[in-house]
Amino acid sequence: MKKNLFLISILILTLLLTGCLKLIQSSKQEGQTNTNVGLANPASVKCEQDSGTLNIIEDAGGLVGNQIGICTFSDGSKCEEWAYFRNECQVGNKIIVYSPNKNQEFTFPLTITGEARGNWFFEASFPVKLLDANNQVIAQTIASAKSDWMTTDFVPFEAEIVGSILSQSGQIPVTLVLQRDNPSGLPQNDEQITIPLILSQPETDNINVYFGNSQFDPEVMDCTKVFAIQRTIVKTEAIGRAALEELLKGPTETEKNDGYFTSINPGVKIQSLNIENGTAKVDFNAQLEYAVGGSCRVAAISSQIRQTLKQFPTVNNVIISIDGRTEDILQP
């Protein structure tokens, strides 16, 4: 009997000690939580200490959940609060970027939003560039004002960079440059801001597309004569279709300046492509033969398509069709 009472007493004492320990731990955690909640954002504190007014912008740059603090100073200039805290933005600045953020990882297209003083623009726009590690331009565009730019106040702007696929894959450091438009050309009016970013590039393949060239063949003695231009595309199992898609884009402006041209109409779509037993059967929409006249142009169109597909070792022969027809298409 005494033994049972002793065991019961030990059990009760153990339960009481366990309960006390849990209560103490809970109180400590609660105290820590309350302490953390009470901590002020140092960037917000610096903004207000330096006589700035802090405004929180929700969904900044049109991105849901992108919340940023904007510190506005007495002269009307603005800084993102953490950029100001890190001395990356100073009182008196003329431009602020909402998106992208510093060191943000992105893929093309890249959307850029923010605000700039009216005198940062000329004719409601200013240039935007993307540079690689060697300061070479890999893409560029124009940012446009979203409201009246004829003011000294801040004006919202937006831009989109649609870059090409680079031969290098992986995480590539690049620099976004937003330049003040300077029609005077005077060095003292040159201003720009830079933002380091990370371009995420997928694995790639190099393919050829074929165009005519007025410099290499000025007399056009052979209408089927076409010349290869290398393009870099995202690695894909459907590489034949990807090559044709690149062909249908036509030559770039730089390639046009070098004499390259296409005989294929704009707006042509691939409806199907099947490669079997060395034969590629490709079907296009009716735009391929729209208003196409002359045997030379017909031959050039056919040659561009055939040579682009025949670069692949699995293709020895090419059958072209339009809306399923093969007999009466591409007539001169």
pLDDT of residue 61: 61
pLDDT of residue 164: 78
Question: If 0-12 CB within 10 Å is exposed, 13-18 middle and 19+ buried, where does residue 31 land?
Answer: exposed
CB 304 within 8 A of CB 211: yes
Comparing 330 with 29, the larger pLDDT belongs to: 330
**What is the CATH number that goes with domain 94-202?**
2.60.40.2550
Q: Could you tell me what percent of the chain has a pLDDT over 90?
A: 75
CATH architecture of 204-322: 2-Layer Sandwich (3.30)
Give mean pLDDT, residues 51-78. Answer: 85
Highest mean pLDDT (candidates 54-58, 86-90, 172-176)? 172-176
Residue 92 region by backbone torsions, left for phi larger than 0, else alpha for psi between -120 and 50, else beta = left
Give mean pLDDT, residues 132-146. Answer: 96
pLDDT of residue 64: 72
Domain residues of the chain, as ranges? 42-93, 94-202, 204-322
CB 139 within 8 A of CB 159: no
pTM over cut 0.75: no
Give mean pLDDT, residues 71-76. Answer: 92
pLDDT in tens, 176-220: 999 999 999 999 999 999 999 999 998 999 999 999 999 999 988
pLDDT in tens, 4-63: 555 555 555 555 555 544 544 444 444 443 434 456 799 999 999 999 999 998 867 666
What beta strand segments (E) does 68-169 contain?
A: 68-72, 78-80, 95-99, 105-106, 110-117, 125-131, 137-145, 154-161
pLDDT of residue 24: 42
- Is 90 exceeded by the pLDDT of residue 320? yes
Q: How far apart are CA 31 and CA 125, in angstroms?
A: 53
pLDDT in tens, 305-315: 999 999 999 99
